[in-house]
Structure 1
């Protein structure tokens, strides 16, 4: 035998032994490499995370691909109150990689019955710091980014640009239009919800970006400003707002983990009513509106100013009275209890009027003013006909009372008319001895 592969007989056995040893060492090296590092598809999860997320990893709709998608995602929550609290808790628990929290408010005692992310020990803290503390304690694997500031046209683009999905957990149309416009401009899906009293609703907007409808498609015009009732005025049951926040978290998880090309063909709005026999209803909504000023053919090019959004939605002080028609609590108290004793009209609803009331006041709910259009409720007309005297109007916070007082002034009452700045809440702080409580 000749050629390069020829091995002398006295070396053949030694060469075979060396080759066997090399193969043995290579196999051992491969084993140790495999033991030292997991397969590429599982690099994103630690052993502790496999255990932490095991129950949702078992779901075919999630599995390892879905869990790694959650860990790589970045979700922004605008408003860390009744909606944002449960949404943040469940998103952190599910393993969202990075959560962004933006809110300019601080924790108050009245928040705690529904804003379950906060604690008595964090009263007075900025909500984003209170929330971050609780979320890190729940899941240390989640990165938390906080913005202790108001969400405005000035910071909206810079903030939203960094995130994959946005949750609107606010409670005023001005912010809802702003958040939606920013999501359209930057191509981000938006999970929007609201809750008041015993009812809530939820819809996923701008999904997929550039194709799904935006907030303006569904609500081209805002509601009349005088008809807007916050939970601070109309009330809300904690589990109601909690249910809607949890549903926001659920829709966000579905957005992040669904396979590409599985977007809904038609948007749906979810309605919840705690008092109804059938508490949950789903309504198919129209798609993107061709003439929409935000996402239509022309499209939005930049966000408006703070003033433009306020004017579009109707600023609360558009109905404000001049200072000559406004009284401080001390001034009102002196007139009503010690002075000329004008007619004191309390326009809170009957439930709130039953909680506490200024001695001698009469209750004409604000809804009665809205129901009669531009005139006056019959109750007011009757009272004014009995005695031609001055009128002081009182509400909970000093907003509805301005509208009612202005209506009285425009109707040409014979006496003088005022409203009370700060309403019943301020009265409770200034003169609790009158039997008024802050709520």
Structure 2
């Protein structure tokens, strides 16, 4: 779900006028039960019977049944969208329930896609739900997208966002994008055939680890509802041809100030056209580690290997510094015994460097590996040649070494 705190690229204050025809042709008719269910829509002149029939005939794909996907799927179903596709290969965990309101306690351990489907059926049994319980990648994106009129992207990593953008552009489809991080959210509509696409907003991916995911960077739970409902608002407008969509505009929300502001996004006339899908992990600097454990930012250590190192350190056989680069709140939840807390920001500002020995061995860790990889890269650039980081972070430590500890 998603996670830029600020926008970049070709933006400026203001709003562009875009008038688009309805995205979907109307279905044949509503049943008497559907007329009763959607009566509050039917009496709105801008929606009416024809708009509701378009919603019934619409096929919408939601990528991610997590923080943004949860409210989006519920409100799309409540609005009467006829077919909802769900792309998600994850399972429901306890830490999801703070914001992913489509799931409940009884869904823990189930796939998110199946859990979301059951909630949708309970809310509106007239909606056809199609599950795609796969990891979206360049090999399957075009095939999945082809069966839908509109895409909603609620993912929280840049590689998938660029993939969604390029696949939608190649197929000529619009998509609604949402992003959340801590107290900030963003919503926009991208449609390469009629205006800017995501690459016009973010021409280049940020360095790995510089922008945390929701899991790494935390998010206020209710922010998901505010941004997710905004995404559905745009979807309904596109399907029915009502109002002015956020094409060429980014809506930015600050939950602490309870304020919205709008930025204009222009299409880059000099940008290369999108002609094929690419290697998005490499584009975002997320190349996999080599067989010897050396990744693009240096060597790693496995959780069992670190456990052995800590036992040897306790016995006085080895010396090394284990550094936790997470934030204090995360450290309070769970920590690795013997780890010293030095948050990532102190490294990237240079403040923490005097506290480390350039000649000594250093092992870094964060939650899942992204932030520690960024710190490792910084250290190696500054002469700390004996630094490594924990592959998979503390989550992998919990899974392999201390399963009784809470995975947040």
* Fold conserved between structures, TM > 0.5: yes
- Find the aligned partners of 2:380 and 2:90 in 1 and give their Cα distance: 35
Aligned counterpart for 2:363 among listed residues 380, 392, 395: 392
Shift of the 402–89 alpha-carbon distance from structure 1 to 2, 3 Å rule, reads same
Tell me whether 1:302 sits opposite 2:276 in the alignment.
yes
With the length of structure 1 as denominator, give the TM-score of the two structures: 0.78
Residue 425 of structure 1 is aligned with which of 380, 395, 407?
395
Paired residue for 2:265?
285
| Residues 103, 148 of structure 1: 8 Å contact kept | yes
Kindly indicate whether the alpha-carbon contact (under 8 Å) linking 1:103 and 1:127 is maintained by their aligned counterparts in 2.
yes
- Cα–Cα, structure 1 residues 170 and 194, in superposed 2: closer, same or farther, change >3 Å? same
Contact 1:80 1:102 in 2 (8 A): yes
Residues in 1 aligned to 2:283 and 2:27: alpha-carbon distance in whole angstroms: 50
CA-CA distance at 1:413 after TM superposition: 4.5
Cα shift at 1:86? 0.6
Residues matched between the structures, number: 376
Q: 1:160 to 1:228 in 2, by over 3 A?
A: same
Q: CA shift at 1:216, angstroms? A: 1.1
Measured in 2, the distance between the counterparts of 1:132 and 1:200 equals 26
The one of 333, 346, 363 equivalent to 1:368 is 346
Describe how 1:235-314 pairs up with structure 2 within 5 A.
235-258=218-241, 267-276=248-257, 278-286=258-266, 288-293=267-272, 299-304=273-278, 308-314=279-285
Partner residue, 2:407:
438
Cα distance in 1 for residues equivalent to 2:91 and 2:302: 32
Secondary structure of the structure 1 residue equivalent to 2:138: coil
360 and 220 in structure 1: CA distance in 2 versus 1, 3 angstrom threshold: same
SS in 2 for 1:378: coil
Partners of 1:336 and 1:344 within 8 A in 2: no
8 Å CA contact retained: 2:303, 2:400:
no
| Distance in 1 between residues matched to 2:311 and 2:140, nearest whole Å | 45
Structure 2 residue aligned with 1:404? 375
Q: 1:155 to 1:263 in 2, by over 3 A?
A: same
- In structure 2, the residue matched to 1:86 is 71
> 2:209 & 2:361 partners in 1: Cα distance?
24
| Equivalent-residue separation in structure 2 for 1:413 and 1:265 (angstroms) | 47
* Secondary structure of 2:167 counterpart: helix
Q: Distance in 1 between matches of 2:181 and 2:70?
A: 16
Please state how far the C-alpha of 1:191 moved relative to its aligned partner: 0.3
Deviation per residue, 1:211-260 (Å, 9 max, x gap): 2111112211111123131111111111112211111111101111125x
TM-score (norm 2): 0.84
Counterpart pick for 1:179 among 147, 164, 186: 164
**Contact 1:394/1:424, CA 8 A, preserved across alignment:** yes
- The Cα shift of 1:171 comes to 1.0
The separation in 2 between residues aligned to 1:56 and 1:65, in whole angstroms, is 10
Alpha-carbon displacement from aligned partner over 1:327-364 (angstroms, at most 9, x marks no partner): 73412431444434533321112222233444553322
Shift of 1:172: 1.0
Contact 1:153 1:178 survives alignment (8 Å): yes
State how 1:37-436 maps to structure 2 within 5 Å: 44-206=29-191, 210-258=193-241, 267-276=248-257, 278-286=258-266, 288-293=267-272, 299-304=273-278, 308-315=279-286, 317=288, 318-322=295-299, 328-339=305-316, 340-371=318-349, 377-384=350-357, 389-413=360-384, 416-429=386-399, 432=402
Secondary structure, in 3 states, of the residue corresponding to 1:328? helix
Alpha-carbon distance between aligned partners in 2 of 1:280 and 1:82, rounded to the nearest angstrom:
20
